[in-house]
Chain A
């Protein structure tokens, strides 16, 4: 793996994004619109927005980035550019981490804007530090990036790729503790929930929401999220095949 090739690949992907103004606009607008809807849905229950809005600050970017990267990677494969790249000196990990890095930049922009909106315009209130929430929102989005890149390997068409979103992300959203405490789930459901990365992403946000200082649980969750990101990217690189039939 070469840091130089990873960086120039990330720069190339950002350049591609820059030419696609509408996608950039959607990356920024979609989470902000959804958060605004949520805020006014619970207009007379600000505490509910503080709880759900906070978690959604992580979930929306994760979902959006998952979709974007799985389609972007699929395009790289189906357009023949991946085959060509694999005949050049670039390594498979350079390609995957280049994608991860480029979309992490997009995720950072998205995370900052969505968080700023949630705090200053929508009146989100958390006990913990705001910068931690921004960081976790970005971390969630990058987790979406890594999962999207990995699952894209199992899709042969855009039709299949977009369906990995409900297949991979929705079960995690159902079991992450958003719709009720995980402690109250049937033990087998909780066992599944224990091995899903989004569980820890949501838990970390909830921790910031209810404690003034960063907790040990939150840092453990952050470590798990970072671990999952690295494993998913490495596994994604391992699924790329230089030789195909």
Chain B
């Protein structure tokens, strides 16, 4: 099967410290891949590489067989940054319609995306007056408007109440079932179980790349939080042993 994303020997430095060093991974088409790891592990940097806005030192990142960031890819991709990047001095609807029009998508589809993220009632409200969670959903709506083949979502469910979070995940699953490739970062482990595959990252190292069930099995625990911890410790021991 052809991969949606292929990362080879990726080397990224931000400032003086290496965020990713010789990072390799592949991401499957039409699936939800969860990028998990603590804050500062390199999740956002990897996502920025995939959407093509990160300066890289060496290595390659390919999306649908093309180098990441190439102009053709920009029409096929939706990106939601970690900090909600929407215009605070526009309404939710105006934001969605603007981003939609950049892809040549009409107002109707933009309004539908606003409803899809549960902001139908707040559509005419200025983004600046919304709560943090609502703002994040407005930002998500702007990533969904163009019905992209690849959705890159950096912590889309932070600050959402559990019911809404559940609805958003139902939405992601439905999109993936229809063929959309979704890469979603999170540091909430209970979301991990809803992914098809997990990439566990710590300090720029890939410490697991498996379906959730396999991660649990390898670590020998049902609890993904605990599983992550065990994998990290095992990795540290392995590294210590190598020295």
Contact count A vs B, C-beta below 8 Å: 72
Please judge, given known A-B contacts A79-B88, A87-B74, A243-B52, whether A8 and B99 are in contact too, CB under 8 Å. Answer: no
Contacting residue for A89 out of B79, B85, B94, B103, CB 8 A? B103
| Given known A15-B94, A89-B71, contact A244–B54 (CB-CB < 8 A) | yes
With a CB–CB cut-off of 8 A, which chain B residues contact A245? 13-15, 54-55
Say yes or no for B86: interface residue by CB 8 A criterion: yes
**Is B32 among interface residues, defined by CB-CB distance under 8 A?**
no
Interface size on B, residues (CB 8 A): 33
Residues B61-119 near A (CB distance < 8 A): 69, 71, 74-75, 77, 79, 81, 83-91, 94, 98-99, 101-103
Cα distance A89–B70 in the bound complex, in angstroms: 10
Docked-complex contact A8 and B53, CB < 8 angstroms:
no
CB proximity of B104 to chain A, nearest CB, Å: 8
Which of under 10, 10 to 19, 20 to 34, or 35 or more describes the interface residues of A? Answer: 20 to 34
A44 on the B face (CB < 8 A):
no
Contact B126–A5 (Cβ < 8 Å): no
Which residues on the A side are within 8 Å of B90 (C-beta)? Answer: 12, 15-16, 19
User: Is B136 among interface residues, defined by CB-CB distance under 8 A?
Assistant: no
Q: At the interface, yes or no: A220 with Cβ under 8 Å from chain B?
A: no
Q: A16-B89, A243-B53 are in contact. List 15 more A-B contacts (CB 8 A).
A: A9-B98, A16-B87, A19-B89, A19-B90, A19-B126, A80-B84, A81-B86, A83-B53, A84-B79, A87-B51, A87-B79, A89-B103, A242-B53, A243-B55, A243-B69
Interface residues of B (CB under 8 A from A): 13-15, 51-56, 69, 71, 74-75, 77, 79, 81, 83-91, 94, 98-99, 101-103, 126, 142
Residues of A within 8 A of B (CB): 5, 8-9, 12, 15-16, 19-20, 79-81, 83-90, 242-245
